[in-house]
Amino acid sequence: MTPSPGRLPLVLLPGPDTPAADVTRLVHALPAPLRPVVLGQCGADVRPGPAPLDILLAQLHEAGVSGPFALHGWGNGAHLGLALAGRLERTAGYAVCTTLFVSDATAPGRTAKARAYGLTNAVRRTVTESPLVVCTSTVSGRPASDVAAWSRHSTSGTEFVDLPQGNRASNLSCLITTRLLPRAARLPTGGVWPPGQLPDPPPPPAAGSRTN
């Protein structure tokens, strides 16, 4: 696949419980300067480990992603994203993943379900230089401690953002866009943001801080 020049790749990693429609809606809501690259398959029970990460690296290569990119993971896909960011960082010597976005996920290894997906001690110990943006929701029912533990996995700071209720794909696209693009390039393909768009990002937080 030939990459589009000037567009920042946004790698999307759905988890085994992520509806395909959620991925499709986000892809359609993203503005043109971001190039969505969907890895893996919705509903697949992908276990973080050497073989799955090799598969994801091959998919990145096939998609023409050869430089810095951002990443958004849903559920266990976020855990895979953390493992992938850590693997690339160790290989390159710097954070290849510019920002790791997390949705619908407790921190790695915090639940029996996460452990059942094969999250090893190595994944639970992964710490990256990539900034983390963890999307939360007042209706998610996630225990705060399980989500807050994500702050242990970045040396560049972790931002926690409560997404507004409503069109989740548009709100998520708005959040990702405001964190990745300069203001002039933020408009979505349709030309306007929905009412109640998220604010501009705050100054970079201190490592492990909570900013919502």
Average pLDDT score over residue span 24-31? 94
- Per-residue pLDDT reduced to its tens digit, 7-25: 899 999 998 888 999 999 9
Q: What are the domain boundaries of the chain?
A: 8-185
Local confidence band at 68 (pLDDT 50, 70, 90 cut-offs): very high
CB 36 within 8 A of CB 12: yes
Local confidence band at 121 (pLDDT 50, 70, 90 cut-offs): low
Q: Rounded to two decimals, what is the model's pTM?
A: 0.77
- Per-residue pLDDT reduced to its tens digit, 36-53: 999 975 434 445 555 778
Local confidence band at 171 (pLDDT 50, 70, 90 cut-offs): very high
Tell me what pLDDT residue 1 has. 40
Please say whether the dihedral angle defined by the alpha carbons of residues 178, 85, 145 and 104, taken in this order, is positive or negative: positive
Determine phi and psi for 187, rounding to 5 degrees. Answer: -60, 135
Assigned CATH class of 8-185: alpha beta
Structure tokens at 33: 């300067």
Local confidence band at 122 (pLDDT 50, 70, 90 cut-offs): low
DSSP codes joined into one string, 33-73:
TEEEEE-S-TT-----SHHHHHHHHHHHHHTT--S-EEEEE
Average pLDDT score over residue span 136-162? 77
CB within 8 A of 164, min separation 6: which ones? 171, 196, 198
- Per-residue pLDDT reduced to its tens digit, 172-202: 999 999 999 876 555 555 444 444 444 444 4
